[in-house]
Amino acid sequence: MFKVLKVDHVGIAVKNMAEAKRFYTEVLGLTVQGEEVVEPQKVKVCFIPCGDSELELLESTTPDGPVAKFIDKNGEGIQHMALRVDNLQAALAELKAKEIRLIDEVPRYGAGGASIAFVHPKAAGGILLELSERQ
């Protein structure tokens, strides 16, 4: 049995990370944490802590990456929401047993050293839902 602990972060697709960062830092007064390229997902990310949760800015590293495709289709904006769980393996096993449609059946590497897996939007009310576990 797994437990959802909190909203871990909201993932926001942007065309230009430097420009997007300026809004969050200069206008909203938040602080950006280290940038990281997650090569398998063709994305550059940075995290902006926001109380107990974070914002995750996502900029595609290639024109054919998933974030670039998202922006082509929807424009910039919220791309996914992430919930933190206490045990990702258990969560995936349980969702699978309930025949919930998953994008990732096994955990993969997420930015910041998290283990993550995506649930299909069709199973989550139209939201691309990321489950994440951090040690």
Chain residues that interact with Zn ion, rule: CB under 5 A: 11, 56, 82, 130
Give the three-state DSSP class for 19.
Answer: helix
Minimum CB distance to Zn ion, residue 117 (Å): 11
Find tokens 């940075």 and name the residue.
Answer: 46
**DSSP 3-state of 42:** coil
Q: Which helix (H) or strand (E) holds 65?
A: none
Q: Which is nearer to Zn ion, 82 or 129 (CB)?
A: 82
**CB nearer Zn ion, residue 95 or residue 114:** 114
Query: Which residue's C-beta sits nearest to Zn ion?
Result: 11
Q: How far is the CB of 90 from Zn ion (least distance, A)?
A: 20
Partners of residue 118 on adjacent β-strands: 130
Query: Burial of 74 by CB count in 10 Å (0-12 exposed, 13-18 middle, 19+ buried)?
Result: exposed
1 or 129: whose CB is closer to Zn ion? 129
Q: Tokens in use for 41?
A: 């997902």
Cβ proximity to Zn ion: between 1 and 88 the closer is 88
Considering the complex, what minimum distance in angstroms separates the CB of residue 24 from Zn ion?
Answer: 16
Q: Which structure tokens are listed for 127?
A: 């939201």
